[in-house]
Copies of this chain bind each other. A is one copy, B any other.
Amino acid sequence: MRNFAIIGTGAVGGFYGARLQHSGREVHFLLHSDYDHVRRHGLKITSPEGDFHLRKVNAYKSADAMPPCDVVCLTLKTTANHLLPEILPPVTAPNGVVLVMQNGLGIEKDVAAVVGPERVMSALCFLCAMKTGPGEIHHLDYGAIRLADYSPYGTPMGVTQRMREISEDFRQAGIRVELVDDFLLARWQKLVWNIPFNALCTILNVATDKLMADEEATALVESIMQEVVALAEADGRIISEDFVREMIYDTRKMIPYSPSMKVDHEKRRPMEIDAIYGRPLQVAEQKNVSVPAIEMLYRLIAFIGRMDAVEADSRKQQIITDDP
């Protein structure tokens, strides 16, 4: 039976890892600030699909202490990806795979540089969840994964044997998994949602419902989505009009949701600006595609990020000063 590592036990890692353990899998969790709490009290999940409490989990403060795992779920924030060369080698079994469950574009390539391209898979998470306290995750809605195999040349890999096997593990944990041929198409499709909503909700300080209740804001969202579609097309991936319409429709009926970027901004934590905006804009530059709306969002959100960093620093200074 395959064992699992969860690299980064936030809302995403905590939710999927807890579900896997709850279904009987062996799971090893890498933690940072919540380590002490989780080692003592385990993980608590509240969810419309049923609450549960794992009183004992395998918690680690360092990847070096973890056993080699067959499936390494990469659920760190991308802003910590500079740590991957330290973290991934010890925890990834020789025939193991790293599932890139992070947001954004081009992360697979970075992971491939560390563990080799044959040990990389993409797993796009469609999950509304939030960490409500140390070791406490509140699952709000959704939770499906789109699983794909990775190729360094962007070639669609079809449905492979290991995709089927790993998806079976998730399915037994009550997670809906869709197997997709083409990881790059899946990445662009996810960006169709992430690019407009992350920046707009953060800049305008609203959850998704306020944008969807406003006709002109919805039109703005749609026009940004169209730029993502154009960019994907330049990258060789066709996204249909229907897909855009469905995204709008799904968001409209979704519960009011604050994207992770907004939550990060509120807590003055680093935002995933490079993964969600910076890298797509690099593609725009390479392919010579004009995406003025995305560029403006990037420039606004990057400024907000720099201001957040200054504020977070001064808060930290404050804490050090206040320390008796």
Which B residues lie within 8 Å of A307 (CB)? 204, 206, 210
* Contacts of A242-275 to chain B: CB distance below 8 A: none
Alpha-carbon separation in the docked complex, A291 to B293 (Å): 11
Tell me whether B216 and A300 are in contact (CB under 8 A): no
A313 → B minimal CB distance (Å): 15
A204 near B304 with CB under 8 A, answer: yes
Copies of the polypeptide in the assembly: 2
The residue from B292, B293, B299 contacting A216, defined by CB atoms under 8 A apart: B299
Distance in angstroms between the alpha carbons of A210 and B307 in the assembled complex: 9
Q: How far is the CA of A304 from the CA of B296 in the complex (A)?
A: 17
Asked whether any CB of chain B lies closer than 8 Å to the CB of A54, the reply is: no
Give, as a whole number of angstroms, the nearest-CB distance from A188 to chain B: 21
Q: Which 9 residue pairs spanning A and B have beta carbons closest together? A: A292-B292, A296-B296, A220-B299, A217-B303, A293-B296, A204-B303, A203-B203, A214-B303, A214-B306
Known: A210-B307, A214-B303. 12 other contacts (CB 8 A): A203-B203, A206-B307, A214-B306, A216-B303, A216-B306, A217-B299, A220-B299, A220-B300, A220-B303, A292-B293, A296-B296, A296-B297
